[in-house]
Amino acid sequence: MPDTGPSANPIDVNPGELDVVGIGNALVDVLAHASDAVVEELGLVKGSMNLIEADRADELYERMGPAVEISGGSAANTIVGVASLGGTAQYVGRVRDDQLGAVFAHDLSSTGVRYTVQPATDGPSTGCCLILVTPDAQRTMSTYLGASSLLGPDDVDAEVVASGTVLYLEGYLFDPPEAQEAFRRAARIAHEAGRTVSVTLSDSFCVERHRDAFLDLVEHHVDLLFANEAEITTLYRTDSFPEAADGVRRHGTVAVLTRSERGSVVVTDDGLVEVPAHPVSQLVDTTGAGDLYAAGFLYGFSRKMDLATCGALGSLAAAEVISHIGARPEADLTELARPILEG
């Protein structure tokens, strides 16, 4: 008997050769611990993502404490999470042919993610995200896009996009103008192939910067939306979370809304599915929480699991990534997910 309750997936999932194809800004994270006072001194808004130029990146880096370099990039983190769960995935994003670009490419392919975009041979260096982690495990990000901003529509391989059950796009792509074009082209190709198009709003300041474009996208061009509370309320210019959730629902888009320690809700035309947060052994660094939630959800979604299971996988992957420094899973997520998948 097909599941027809609110946890049933209203989207007709059309399986391709790959589970997920992700497109985003390719970045290496530079993570350092910092006090709240330092975040303030540097003129940063705690918890936000700020775009910075090369000069400002140099200045901030000089004032940061000793750091750790780990590959990052929102959609790239998600794609690695999908692979860690045993999914098949490909990533599209651009680095330069420098040392950090080689690190980024290695950290994708060594997890089994397909990555074929050639590094730029000139222009700005590989993009990086300077991340200050405060004692409350919150992260404040300053992103120098560098070579990632060179991603354009020509980098979107139609065959690759058409082969993914789900296309996953990060909202941050709306910052570099060329990438916006790549974003739209990819969504068109995926829909023409009958695939699911998903997007994450990424950051409330990013939503503010591109609000009209995002509204149009969410209401007319996207099947599955990921957002947290701040992002979705910013998009609908309301203080009310239920009102914002209703805004998306009215347009037939499935909305997956994360609420930190209060878990997440999946909003569809058939109702709400509430998903509890997964218990966290120790909260160390929230970098990547949303990215890995999306990874778990998308893995389940592409394998046609019900929405409650998709959400449970998202919560599990998010809980793992916030228990340590960095936005990529350290544990084998397939192993961790066994109780959910076999239960």
Least distance CB 98 / its own copies (angstroms): 6
Q: Which residues inside 318-337 make contact with its own copies, applying CB under 8 A? A: 326, 328, 330
Report residue 239: phi and psi, to 5°.
-90, -10
Residue (330 or 335) nearer to its own copies, CB? 330
Q: Which residues inside 33-72 make contact with its own copies, applying CB under 8 A? A: 33, 61-62, 64-71
Residues with Cβ < 8 Å from 198, sequence gap 6 or more?
166, 167, 168, 169, 222, 223, 224, 225, 226, 294, 298
Residues with Cβ < 8 Å from 212, sequence gap 6 or more?
none
Least distance CB 314 / its own copies (angstroms): 21
Q: How many binding residues for its own copies (CB under 8 A)?
A: 26
Least distance CB 111 / its own copies (angstroms): 5
Residue (197 or 327) nearer to its own copies, CB? 327
| Binding pattern for the stretch 267-306 against its own copies, x by CB under 8 A and - elsewhere | ----------------------------------------
With contact defined as beta carbons under 8 Å apart, do 315 and 278 qualify?
yes
Q: Any idea how long the chain is?
A: 343
Residue among 57, 186, 188, 215 nearest 127 (CA): 57
Residue (106 or 220) nearer to its own copies, CB? 106
Residue (40 or 332) nearer to its own copies, CB? 332
Q: Which residues inside 61-120 make contact with its own copies, applying CB under 8 A? A: 61-62, 64-71, 80, 98-100, 103, 106-107, 110-111
Residue among 14, 78, 31, 18 nearest 324 (CA): 31
Whole-angstrom distance, CA of residue 325 vs CA of residue 139: 10
With contact defined as beta carbons under 8 Å apart, do 45 and 168 qualify?
no
Residues forming contacts to its own copies in the complex (CB under 8 A) are 32-33, 61-62, 64-71, 80, 98-100, 103, 106-107, 110-111, 125-126, 326, 328, 330
